[in-house]
Amino acid sequence: MKKLVFIMLLFVCTTIEAQLNSVSDIRNYSGDAAYIFVADTLQGGFFNRYDGSDLPDGGMVFIDAKARKWLRHTEDSKIKIRWYGLRPYNNYGATDDAIVIRKAINYIKNHRNRFDVLKMDLCLSNEWYYIASTIYLEGITLEGEGQKKRPKTLFQVAAGITAFRIPAGGGYVQLKI
C-alpha cells in the first residue's frame, strides 16, 4: 500500500502543470512543473521541459529563469508563423517581417524529419506583412488563408526585392509581389 501511494504521489508531482499568460513569462518561470501551458491566443500552447541541442528561438524553444529549455508541443507537421511573433502592421515598412519568417523556416529546415509546412495562419481579416529581403522556401510548403477574389494575407514588398525564392526544376521561381 505504501508503495502504491508513493508511486501515485510521484506521478502527481511529475505531471504538475503551470499556467502562464504569455511566452515572455517563460523567461521568468522558476517553478518545478514538467510542462506548462501558455494561455496567449497567438503564441500560446503547451510546452515540455527539453534538454535537446536546439537553442532558444522565440517560437519553438524558450529558456526559463533556471536556464532550462522548454519545447512547444505540436500536433502536426506545421510550424505556425504566429508562434514566432509575426504581427501584421498598419505602419507599412516598419519592420522586415522576413526576419521572423526566416526563424520559423530555419526550425523547419533543422527538423525535416518532423516539419515541412510553414503556416501563415495569423489572418483574421486583410492584414499586411512587410518583406524587405528574400525568403528562400527550399522544400517548404507555405500555407495560408485567403479567397480567390479577396486574399486575407497580403505582403508589401520593398522595391526591387524578390519576396520568395522557390527551387523549381534546377532553377528558382522568384515571386515579386
Of 64-73, 106-115, 155-164, the one with minimum mean pLDDT is: 155-164
Q: What percent of the chain has pLDDT over 90?
A: 31
Q: How many helices (H) and strands (E) does the chain have?
A: 2, 13
Over residues 73-86, the pLDDT tens digits come to 998 888 888 899 88
Higher per-residue pLDDT: 128 or 134: 134
Residue 157 has pLDDT above 70, yes or no: no
Residue 49 has pLDDT above 80, yes or no: yes
Q: Would the pTM of this model clear 0.75, i.e. be above it?
A: no
Higher per-residue pLDDT: 10 or 119: 119
Instruction: Record the cell numbers describing residue 43, joined without a space.
Output: 503564441
Mean pLDDT on 126-140: 73
Q: Which value, in Å, is the radius of gyration of the alpha carbons in the chain?
A: 20
Going through 56-126 in order, the beta strands assigned E by DSSP cover: 61-63, 69-72, 78-80, 117-120
Highest-confidence segment of 16-25, 79-88, 157-166: 16-25
User: How is the chain split into domains, by residue range?
Assistant: 1-73, 76-177
What are φ and ψ of residue 129, in 5° steps?
Answer: -125, 135
Question: Would you list the DSSP string of 11-37?
Answer: HHHHT-EEEESSGGGGGG-----SEEE
Round to the nearest angstrom and report the end-to-end CA distance of the chain.
Answer: 69
Per-residue confidence (pLDDT) for residue 141, from 0 to 100: 76
Per-residue confidence (pLDDT) for residue 5, from 0 to 100: 40
DSSP state of 82: G
The rounded mean pLDDT for the chain is 75
Highest-confidence segment of 70-74, 88-92, 125-129: 70-74
Per-residue confidence (pLDDT) for residue 75, from 0 to 100: 86
User: Is the CB of residue 116 less than 8 Å from the CB of residue 141?
Assistant: yes
